[in-house]
Amino acid sequence: MRTPPGRPAARTPNRERDDRDRGPRAARNPEGGRNGDRGRELHLPPTLRLFVAISAPDDIVRRLRRALAERRDLLERFPASLHLTLRFLGDMPESSLPLIGDALASAGGPPDPELRLGPLGVFRRKDAATLWAGLDPSPELLGLKARVDSALATLPLPPPQGESPGRFTPHLTIARLKARGPQPPADPGSIRPGGTFRAGSFGLFSSVLRPEGARHTLLRAYPLA
């Protein structure tokens, strides 16, 4: 049909641009819904960034801060709390939370591992470094790690993230450092804070990444005593 003289031609909607404007939670469905409703929005399910960990007590946090007392630049980046990650799950559908929570219950109970602080260490990448305090990989701790992995193996989850197959380096992350900024100690292995603590429990946590640092929330705790 011709456009009558003097009337501007109708613009064709830019479907790609509209989809981008809607953000990651909504997208166009080109096939349409049950009734052939083409252009219907698809809403992705909400997700949670999940991990399984043991929280370090306050006296261990204070001990590590004292060990780095001469490095004020690092203390400014010291988190309010520290934890030992047993399994990082990543972004998971919120609907999977009850299944994950119930599966982890089978990993609870004794023995309650005693955790011993070792020397500091650094994971290095091309443009960043992670400063951490090592923990002794005792048989009790390795057994707990195996129980957690075994419990989660019953669920349709992706492979463990952030760790090499068959390799577990227990540690407490102290600071994540970029190339342009404070650098780790020149000889981190010479810093040995010492100290031991009982785990008492482990938990399922959610994590929200923010510019000022990640915010962790305990969703469910599992006693070990």
Degrees to nearest 5, angle at CA 86 with 77 and 50: 75
Arithmetic mean of pLDDT, 16-23: 40
- pLDDT: which is higher, 212 or 78: 78
CA distance 6 to 169: 74
* Local confidence band at 2 (pLDDT 50, 70, 90 cut-offs): low
Give the tokens for residue 32. Answer: 């349409």
Domain membership flag for residue 42: no
CATH for 202: 3.90.1140.10
CA distance 151 to 139: 18
Share of residues in the chain with pLDDT > 90 (%): 57
- pLDDT: which is higher, 17 or 171: 171
Residue 56: which of 80, 77, 82 has the closest Cα? 82
Arithmetic mean of pLDDT, 156-177: 82
Arithmetic mean of pLDDT, 179-207: 93
**3-state class of 74 per DSSP?**
helix
| pLDDT score recorded for residue 157 | 86
Domain membership flag for residue 127: yes
Domain membership flag for residue 9: no
Q: Following DSSP, what letter does each residue of 16-55 receive, concatenated?
A: HHHHHHT-TTEEEETT--TT--TTEEEEPPPEEEEEEEEE
CA distances from 168 to 57, 66, 120 (A): 22, 27, 16
CA distances from 205 to 101, 110, 151 (A): 10, 21, 16
CA distance 20 to 23: 6
| Structural domain total, the chain | 1
Domain membership flag for residue 26: no
* Local confidence band at 42 (pLDDT 50, 70, 90 cut-offs): low
Q: Please write the tens of the pLDDT for every residue from 22-37.
A: 333 444 444 444 444 4
Arithmetic mean of pLDDT, 173-189: 88
Domain membership flag for residue 99: yes
Alpha helix (H) residue ranges in the chain: 15-21, 58-67, 72-75, 97-104, 139-152
**3-state class of 75 per DSSP?**
helix
Q: Give the structural domain span for 92.
A: 47-223
Give the tokens for residue 74. Answer: 């690092």
Arithmetic mean of pLDDT, 172-183: 87
Domain membership flag for residue 38: no
CA distance 140 to 143: 5
Domain membership flag for residue 140: yes
CB 194 within 8 A of CB 63: yes
Residue located via tokens 């955790």:
115
**Out of 85-89, 113-117, 123-127, which region has the weakest mean confidence (pLDDT)?**
123-127
Cis? peptide before 165, omega within 30° of 0: no
Domain membership flag for residue 18: no
| pLDDT score recorded for residue 33 | 45
CA distance 8 to 20: 27
Q: Say what the pTM is.
A: 0.77
